[in-house]
Structure formats: C-alpha cells, structure tokens
C-alpha cells in the first residue's frame, strides 16, 4: 500500500527530504571554468556551507567608489579636513535613509497586501505542507478560479537576480520564464500558470491557475483502484485522445528543457490531472525547488524527494538535469502502472521492487530505459518521445 497521504499539498516535499546533502564536498560545475574557492554557488539550506551548483548566475554586487569631492588639495588633505564633520553627517544621513527605507518597505508591503485582497477572494485551504499553504480562491473581476499559495520567507530557498537587479524567488522567475512570449497561457501551458505574485516581506504569495475540476495524479491513481491499466497510459487514436498522461508529461518535461528549466521534483503528487472530460490532461505543479540549468551543469546537493533520488547521486554524489528528469518520469510511470506502488530508489536497485512482467514488452522497455542505473544509458527526452510505446500512430 502507498504510505503517502492522498490530499494535495502545496509543497509536498518535506524539509528533511530537501536537506539530503553532501558534507564538505566541492561543487562541480563542468563547463564553467575552474572552481573558485572563494566563490559560493547555489544556496545553503542549513547555513553550514552545503552548496548547490545552479547554472543561472546570481548577480554579483559591485562596490563603487565616488570620485574625490572638492577641487583644491589632495584626497588625503580633504580626508583630514572633513573626517569628523563628514562622519557625523554620514551617520545622520544613514539613519535618515534607513528610516526612510523602513517606511517605504512597510508602505510597499501594505500596498501589495491591499492590492492582493482587492483583486482576489481567498477561500478554503486546499493543502498545507512543509513549504507553505495553498488556498482556493477566485479573481473578483471575472470569478476565475485561482490557487493562492502562501510561502513563509524562510521557506524561499532559492533566489534569482533579474536583469533589472531585482532579486526574486526562483519559483517566480521560472514560472515567468514559462509564460514569457506566450500571452494567454492560462489553461494552455504544460505547467499551471502563474497569474500574479506579491512579496509581502515575511511571506511570498503566488496566485496560480486552478483548473476545475482536478486532482493530483496520486489521488487520480487511487480513484482508479490503485493503478492505471497499461492502455490508460498509452497513446490511443486521435478520435479518443491526443496525448495521455505519460506522453503529456514527457512533452511538458521537453518544454521545460527547451527553456533550460530543471523542475527537480517531478512525482505523482506534483502532477495535476484535469478531469473535466473523458480525456485526462496532465499539468505540472510546484516549482518551489526548480532552477535554471546549462547542459553541462552538475549538482552535488540533492533537492527533491529523497525516496526518488537518482542512483548516480548515491554513488557519485552528483547528478544532472536531463538524466534525473528521465529517471523521475520513470518513477511516475512505475507508480502509475503498479498497484499501490510506492517507488523507492534503494529498494529498486536491490531488486526488492521490480518491473511487472505483465506489462507489454514495449512498456517494460520504456521503464527499463528510464530507470537504468547508469545515467548515460537512460533515454533522452527526445528519444523517449520517439519510443515505439509512446509514438504509436495517432491516425490509426
């Protein structure tokens, strides 16, 4: 039996799971030049020096020196003449600037809070987890259903510096990237769309698309008897379905890869299934642990669900975006097709859980190629899309 709860959660990866780290290991970031001992990459969850090599470069602050003031005498003479007076003036100015900054910050937060409450109506709790809480709601102007996600400041693990110098949550940056250049993506994108976001100082609030009706894939599997028949996970004729769950997830993952986005925690709880028609539609949710990557980026701190950690991290203390994403898709498919299955990497590697021989040979091949212990032997997302089991003719 599955041991996980069936209720959807906004961040169903526990703090313990995302604290799976290596101790005192140098970050590997191949293709980025030699490691700089004084340069910290990534983000430290425990404030103990554990590092994650993210491919997006966090903007660096630069110190600037103002030109010498006055025109007579050297800078040394100027410092002697004005040292005491300028220190007093500087202290006063700093105090005024600090007080002004505090007032501006409070005003900004209060303005944002008022704007949020004026625009959206918050209703019942949809789920609560280690990373925050999600509420049902709707946009007052047109009653569009939304999910309002509240994330405490301490749970915003990763930050991204934008081109304008603004520092924002990577989750926000990733979701903005997903919708950039494609207006009107609500209801059409592979990932649930970000509609609005508000920085309220002590918490980050995201307003997200909320498909109605929908359940997460874990609940969907349970509603269908604990597993899905193989034909439920294959491509049928165009008359009945264009893409089913796995094919949709592979294409969603390929879309993320094309935009250099690494979800890092694809699992049944983070897949939303729209159930408004006979054809289920899969949507990716919860980008709280996601990041931007480059093709040669390596990571030595594992962010995600510890039960689904890729084998290479257990043996080499490192993993990459592409092979890890394919591994996670294999885990999702395994849990879809095996009754009441709760996948665990170590158990699978010890052959304590196995791929069912009752599945078709093509389906078994997909699982074996996704769940290969060696990352270089796994299919790429492009190869997976072209696999016979997933590329059955839609015109038949």
Distance CA 365, CA 315 (A): 24
Question: Contact, 263 vs 177, CB < 8 A?
Answer: no
CA distances from 250 to 112, 150, 368 (A): 37, 29, 16
Taking Cα atoms as reference points, which of 36, 290, 314, 9 lies closest to residue 133?
9
β-strands 271-274, 281-284: how paired?
Answer: antiparallel
Question: Contact, 277 vs 314, CB < 8 A?
Answer: no
> DSSP 3-state assignment of 357?
coil
Distance CA 283, CA 201 (A): 30
- Taking CA 327 as the corner, what is the angle to CA 325 and CA 330, rounded to the nearest 5 degrees? 110
Q: Which residues are catalytic?
A: 265
SS3 letters across 124-180: EEEEEECCEEEEEEEECCCCEEEEEEEEEHHHCCCEEECCCCCEEEHHHHHHHHHHC
User: Roughly how many angstroms between the first and final C-alpha of the chain, as a whole number?
Assistant: 37
- C-alpha Rg value of the chain to the nearest Å: 25
- Taking CA 337 as the corner, what is the angle to CA 331 and CA 338, rounded to the nearest 5 degrees? 85
Measured from the Cβ of residue 343, the count of other Cβ atoms closer than 10 Å reads 22
Question: Contact, 31 vs 296, CB < 8 A?
Answer: yes
């Amino acid at each position: 039996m599955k041991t996980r709860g069936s209720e959807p959660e906004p961040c169903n990866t526990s703090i313990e799971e995302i604290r799976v780290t290596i101790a005192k290991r140098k970050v590997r970031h191949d293709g980025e030049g030699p490691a700089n001992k004084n340069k910290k990459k990534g983000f430290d969850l425990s404030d103990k020096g554990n590092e994650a090599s993210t491919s997006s470069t966090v903007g660096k602050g630069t110190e600037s020196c103002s030109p010498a003031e006055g025109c007579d005498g050297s800078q040394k003479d100027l410092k002697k003449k004005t040292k005491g007076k300028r220190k007093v003036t500087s202290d006063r100015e700093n105090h005024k600037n600090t007080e002004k900054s505090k007032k501006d910050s409070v005003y900004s937060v209060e303005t944002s809070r008022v704007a949020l409450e004026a625009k959206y109506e918050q209703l019942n709790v949809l789920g609560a987890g280690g990373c925050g809480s999600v509420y049902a709601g709707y946009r007052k102007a047109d009653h569009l259903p939304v999910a309002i996600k509240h994330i405490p400041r301490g749970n915003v693990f990763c930050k991204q510096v934008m081109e304008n110098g603004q520092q924002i949550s990577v989750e926000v940056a990733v979701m903005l990237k997903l919708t950039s250049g494609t207006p009107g993506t609500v209801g059409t994108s592979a990932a649930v769309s970000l509609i609005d976001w508000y920085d309220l100082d002590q918490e980050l609030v995201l307003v997200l698309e909320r498909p109605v009706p929908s359940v997460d894939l874990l609940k969907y599997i349970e509603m269908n008897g604990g597993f899905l028949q193989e034909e439920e996970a294959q491509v049928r004729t165009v008359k009945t379905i264009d893409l089913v769950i796995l094919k949709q997830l592979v294409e969603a993952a390929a879309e993320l890869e094309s935009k250099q986005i690494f979800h890092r925690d694809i699992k049944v709880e983070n897949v939303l299934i729209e159930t408004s028609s006979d054809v289920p539609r899969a949507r990716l949710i919860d980008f709280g642990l996601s990041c931007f990557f480059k093709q040669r980026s390596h990571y030595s701190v594992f962010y995600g669900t510890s039960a689904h950690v890729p084998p290479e991290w257990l043996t080499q203390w490192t993993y990459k975006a592409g092979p890890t994403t394919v591994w996670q898709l294999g885990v999702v498919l395994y849990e879809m097709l095996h009754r009441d299955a709760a996948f665990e990497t170590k158990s699978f590697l010890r052959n304590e859980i196995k791929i069912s021989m009752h599945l078709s040979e093509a389906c078994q091949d997909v699982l074996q190629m996704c769940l290969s212990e060696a990352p270089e032997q796994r299919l790429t997302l492009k190869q997976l899309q072209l696999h016979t089991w997933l590329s059955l003719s839609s015109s038949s």
